[in-house]
Structure 1
Amino acid sequence: MGETEDGVRPQRTVFVTVGTTCFDALVRAVGTRDFQQELSARGYTHLVIQMGRGTYTPKKLKQSDGEDGSLVVDYFTFSSSIADYLRSASLVISHAGSGSIFETLRLGKPLIVVVNEDLMDNHQSELAEELAERKHLYCARPQTLYKTIADMDLESLLPYVPGDATPVAKIINRFLGFLDD
């Protein structure tokens, strides 16, 4: 990813969210030097981690902490809204919560969903795997996230188009005796 005419790399942010849970395995995975170097090599300039209730604290890095071209790393626990972070992200890495998944897909952002295998009855993995099979996102585990980043081709992802509930609503309205408009 090239520089602008004035020699400055355009800001490209990776936003990581774990929601309200504790998902230290994901925070640890994105906090590794190898992972961050791979992001930098792919042209990303910033890594922002929303770490939720986790106890593992990643290392913050300012531009001045590393050599030129290094990734700037920041984190926070919670925010009243992550919408601005999602909108400004060039890539989102998220836990498998359906709200985070669909909000990111509606914004048309490339998405890697990381399944938390520590959760019991993990129905979230079924949703993530189905959407990955339909090529709307990538699905990973904390231990496979680096390989997913290294191998990903964001151009291969297909836009997610939410379904139209109108036909179902009309059937329900007819069944309940309401007239169609």
Structure 2
Amino acid sequence: MLVFVTVGSTRFDALVQTAISEQVLDALHKKGYRRIAIQRGNSDLGMDGGDNGQDLMVFETNGMEVETWKFKTSILSDIQRATLVVSHAGSGTILDALRQGKPMIVVPNPTLLDDHQGELSSRLDALGYLKATTVNNLAVTISAFDPSSLIPFPPFDGSRFRRLIDQEMGYSVSSS
């Protein structure tokens, strides 16, 4: 089973370093995961010698195969192949994972200017679509996480957006 971790385009050293910590890797291993893929952006791995400027790195630690890279054009295929997604709380990444039906744990980045990631993740957690946590509680959250307790995210309905625009613009709204 594969866990996909992503920090998006921002730097989120704390999440990347926690994702490869002994506590998190042990929690994942106990849940049956054997591989973790990490899109780290410009984040520091926190390992001796850093990443030596390398983009792709593959290594094994704590019984887990770890693959990490900085950026890709698209991470959709990584989301699709994952059994679990652990992500920063960026809205685009959240929507991509939820639309793919993937169980998700989100970790808002508290270093950002405002708390929009915290607000979004708290609301989606309250609705039951995902589990929100902090960097410090990630291992505990993984250990207690039950993907079957999540509520499936509703499928995309583009007609809702059209009706909203029509209504805001004062056009006659059909009942379609």
- Please give the TM-score of this superposition, normalised by the length of structure 1: 0.82
> Structure 2 stretches of 5 or more lacking a match?
48-56
1:25 aligned to which of 8, 14, 30: 14
> What is the rounded CA distance, in whole Å, between the counterparts of 2:128 and 2:86 in structure 1?
15
> What is the rounded CA distance, in whole Å, between the counterparts of 2:24 and 2:81 in structure 1?
21
> What is the rounded CA distance, in whole Å, between the counterparts of 1:167 and 1:84 in structure 2?
27
RMSD: 2.3
> What is the rounded CA distance, in whole Å, between the counterparts of 1:92 and 1:126 in structure 2?
19
Q: Aligned-pair distance for 1:31? A: 1.0
Aligned to 1:116: 109
Q: Aligned-pair distance for 1:56? A: 2.7
Seen in structure 2, the aligned counterparts of structure 1 residues 40 and 121 have a Cα distance that, compared at 3 Å, is same
- Say how many residue pairs are matched: 165
What SS does the aligned partner of 1:37 have?
A: helix
Q: Which amino acid aligns with 2:139?
A: Y
Aligned to 1:85: 78
Q: Aligned-pair distance for 1:169? A: 3.1
1:157 aligned to which of 150, 156, 160: 150
Seen in structure 2, the aligned counterparts of structure 1 residues 177 and 28 have a Cα distance that, compared at 3 Å, is closer
Seen in structure 2, the aligned counterparts of structure 1 residues 121 and 151 have a Cα distance that, compared at 3 Å, is same
Is 2:87 the partner of 1:94? yes
Seen in structure 2, the aligned counterparts of structure 1 residues 138 and 176 have a Cα distance that, compared at 3 Å, is same
Aligned to 2:50: none
1:36 aligned to which of 10, 16, 25: 25
Q: Deviations over 1:104-123 (max 9, x none)?
A: 00000000000111112121
State whether residues 16 and 44 of structure 2, in contact with CA within 8 Å, keep that contact through their aligned partners in structure 1. Answer: no
> What is the rounded CA distance, in whole Å, between the counterparts of 2:79 and 2:165 in structure 1?
35
Q: Aligned-pair distance for 1:15? A: 0.2
> What is the rounded CA distance, in whole Å, between the counterparts of 1:85 and 1:168 in structure 2?
28
1:148 aligned to which of 108, 120, 141: 141
What SS does the aligned partner of 1:142 have?
A: coil
Aligned residues: percent identity? 36
> What is the rounded CA distance, in whole Å, between the counterparts of 1:156 and 1:19 in structure 2?
26
What SS does the aligned partner of 1:146 have?
A: helix
Greater displacement, 19-28 / 156-165 = 156-165
Is 2:35 the partner of 1:46? yes
- Please give the TM-score of this superposition, normalised by the length of structure 2: 0.84
Q: Which amino acid aligns with 1:101?
A: I
> What is the rounded CA distance, in whole Å, between the counterparts of 1:75 and 1:103 in structure 2?
20
Greater displacement, 76-85 / 30-39 = 30-39
Name the larger-Rg structure.
1
Seen in structure 2, the aligned counterparts of structure 1 residues 171 and 48 have a Cα distance that, compared at 3 Å, is closer
